[in-house]
Structure 1
Amino acid sequence: MDDPTARIVPRLQFLVRELPCVEGRPWDREETPRVILVATCDASCFFDLNFLRKGFVLSDLTRPEKTGKEEEEPKKPSTEILRNEIREGLGALEGSAIGLAISGISAGLDIGFGPFLMAVVRTKLTGEFSEPILALIGANLYAVGFLFVVLGRSELFTEQTTLAVLPVLGGHSRPRALVRLWAIVLAANLAGGAIFAAILVLVGPALGIIDPVALGQIAEPLLGHPWWVTILSAVLAGWLMGLLSWLVAASRDTISQIVIVWLITTAIGIGHLHHVVAGSVQLFGAYFAGQNVALGELGLVLLWSTIGNILGGAFFVGVIKFGHTTYGKRPTQHNLEARVPKEEED
């Protein structure tokens, strides 16, 4: 197993500071000052100097997960969630281009099973149920593809709009690396979605399980809107996907993750919000099936959806969650006990 210390020790530069700081929580200036050794090295093992200046230290990313009493706590602290998200984001930012592309194509393919099931239900149950019931069933099936992607740990663009922003905000990576990641993952996701849509159009009608008209019906809610409506719809979808990423990191078991993914992506589906990757499968499916979708219109919808998804995930979740965790950190139990005077014994 690779020993991270063997890799980083030659690059260590030690900065000695006399700071009344205790790792992982705000300092109490009445505490005995401690000598803090701060290692400025690569992202696999670091203490963030910016966090030191703000009064707390981002823990060593190579540290094992906490065990014992802390694992029994019902909720993870926001700093622990942020640390996990930064670790995940750094892993993606530092990933190889070919690895990211393969994972991105896999995500684009897997997410297509949601629109596939929606089209099957539209074909089989139209006339049997009312339109609101069909829409509700379709929204629940829309979530299936997201479950495959999120639990399967494939690279999905709308997760990276939040995850990959956090290391950049913390100063652990550069914006250029972020743009590189987004470009590779988005292109791979769209390629996977287009491939799945082509398979869908070839196989579905041949098996008699999908009527091409149904492909046009599931794509129709994404079309015909002004550009600003599409962008705002995509902002909401990106916002929800950013929350999904944050809440999945906060959850402690697989069942919780399944419920979170199902609830959030069903909300996206029932609201017909513009998710650039899942939406690409719907749009490419309708286009390949000849359901009156112009290529130019398809491209514009994907463009506005991409912009909105980035704004929703990066700002409304990434920036805000980073800000409230970094600047609005609640006092720990240790500090509360230190600051609250004890009652005098009789």
Structure 2
Amino acid sequence: MDHAPTPSEPAGALAHDDPERRASDREIARDEAGLTGHERGQIKDNLRLSARTVFSVIRREGEEELYRPAMSLWWSGLAAGIGISTSVFAQGLLHQSFEGHPQRELIAALGYAMGFVLVVLARLQLFTENTLTAVLPLLAGPNTQRLWRTARLWGVVLAANLCGTFLTALILDMVVDPSHPTLAGMLAVARKAAEASGTAALLDGIPAGFFIAAFVWMLPSSKGVEIFVVALFAWLIGAGGFTHVVAGSTEMFLLMAHGEMPVADVFALHLLPTLLGNVLGGTGLFALLAYAQIKGEI
């Protein structure tokens, strides 16, 4: 997803109708009258994007995603499912490499961030990103067409993501020697993740959905440090043991392919509860809060 700032948005009704705001604007204009063009440029460069501007950037991206062809969404989502599996690979690699280290879990969580960095910066379709991006246009202008297109986007992307993670897990199980240290580390990480099931998976999915939506909201203001924003919040999800439906599906499918988990348990005890938690955290909490803070300004 492209997070470049949009052109300056039009002044809202508050800026026109509030006498105090108009007086403040005049004072600022007088203060800046004696500045050089370079100095005024420095001021502009150092201003943070307003909440309304961030909303406009993400809303515009969401509108573009809603009208993309289904096949484009599918192939991008499939690539994202394969790419997010990098998280499990890197986490398993570090988990195995730091065996016996007192901070093993925190270090291994750095690997968990790798798949998210790859998917987000490559602008691939990841379901949990769309719990914010695609929902803001619907909140701003609810209608039947947007509701249908949001459901279509979610359905296609989630299915493609899960197909990508399933293919990755299946190939790993078929091709890689079970005694390989990295695969052993991946299985160990997957067994740990599988401990959260049912209600626990749902509850652990809420913070994960919230954090994903939070870094999507922050990206338009990140200005060149996007990789650190994504990595920090993804690390927090991994370090906190929170559940993510797409990255977690790689772990569950790997256990299924390895004969350690029945298909019914993969979906009923892990993926479905995690999916619900991610949606509640990303849409039910963050998207609604993000929209509420700017509703009076648009």
TM class by shorter chain equals: 0.7 to 0.9
How many angstroms apart in 1 are the aligned matches of 2:17 and 2:249? 55
| 1:193 alignment counterpart | 165
| 1:240 alignment counterpart | 211
Q: CA deviation at 1:298?
A: 0.8
- Confirm or deny: 8 A CA contact 1:159 1:242 kept in the other structure: yes
Letter matched to residue 90 of structure 1: E
Letter matched to residue 16 of structure 2: D
Structure 2, unaligned stretches of length 5 or more? 1-8, 20-39
Structure 1 pair 319/68, CA: closer, same or farther in 2 (3 Å)?
same
| 2:276 alignment counterpart | 307
Structure 1 pair 259/124, CA: closer, same or farther in 2 (3 Å)?
closer
Letter matched to residue 297 of structure 1: D
- 1:109 correspondence with 2:97: no
Q: CA deviation at 1:169?
A: 0.5
Letter matched to residue 135 of structure 2: V
Runs of 4+, deviation exceeding 6 Å: none
SS in 2 for 1:23: coil
TM-score normalised by structure 1 residue count: 0.71
| Pairwise CA RMSD | 2.3
Greater Rg over alpha carbons, structure: 1
| 1:62 alignment counterpart | none
| 2:60 alignment counterpart | 87
Structure 1, unaligned stretches of length 5 or more? 1-21, 32-66, 330-346
Q: CA deviation at 1:294?
A: 2.0
Match of 1:294 among 250, 254, 262: 262
TM-score normalised by structure 2 residue count: 0.82
Structure 1 pair 240/193, CA: closer, same or farther in 2 (3 Å)?
same
- 1:326 correspondence with 2:298: no
Q: CA deviation at 1:114?
A: 1.4
How many angstroms apart in 1 are the aligned matches of 2:113 and 2:294? 29
- 1:143 correspondence with 2:113: yes
| 1:52 alignment counterpart | none
Q: CA deviation at 1:272?
A: 1.4
SS in 2 for 1:205: coil
Q: CA deviation at 1:134?
A: 2.0
How many angstroms apart in 2 are the aligned matches of 1:282 and 1:153? 23
SS in 1 for 2:188: helix
How many angstroms apart in 2 are the aligned matches of 1:281 and 1:111? 8
Letter matched to residue 188 of structure 2: Q
Q: CA deviation at 1:174?
A: 1.8
How many angstroms apart in 1 are the aligned matches of 2:293 and 2:211? 18
| Mapping of residues 1-346 of structure 1, within 5 Å | 23-25=10-12, 26-29=14-17, 68=41, 71-126=44-99, 129-130=100-101, 132-171=102-141, 174-205=146-177, 208-212=180-184, 214-225=185-196, 227-253=198-224, 256-290=225-259, 292-300=260-268, 301-327=270-296
* Structure 1 or 2: more helix by fraction: 2
Q: Which stretch shifts more, 69-78 or 278-287?
A: 69-78
How many angstroms apart in 2 are the aligned matches of 1:120 and 1:201? 16
How many angstroms apart in 2 are the aligned matches of 1:328 and 1:142? 38
Q: Deviations over 1:12-57 (max 9, x none)?
A: xxxxxxxxxx9323243488xxxxxxxxxxxxxxxxxxxxxxxxxx
- Confirm or deny: 8 A CA contact 2:92 2:187 kept in the other structure: no
Letter matched to residue 321 of structure 1: A
| 1:41 alignment counterpart | none
- Confirm or deny: 8 A CA contact 2:94 2:111 kept in the other structure: no
How many angstroms apart in 2 are the aligned matches of 1:311 and 1:30? 37
| 1:342 alignment counterpart | none
Q: CA deviation at 1:91?
A: 0.9
Q: Which stretch shifts more, 161-170 or 173-182?
A: 173-182
- Confirm or deny: 8 A CA contact 1:113 1:144 kept in the other structure: yes
Higher RCO (CA 8 Å, separation ≥ 6 residues): 2
Q: CA deviation at 1:216?
A: 3.1
Q: CA deviation at 1:317?
A: 1.3
Number of equivalenced pairs: 266
Q: Deviations over 1:95-147 (max 9, x none)?
A: 10000000001111111111012222334443xx23x4221121000000100
Letter matched to residue 293 of structure 1: M
The percent identity for this pair of structures is 29
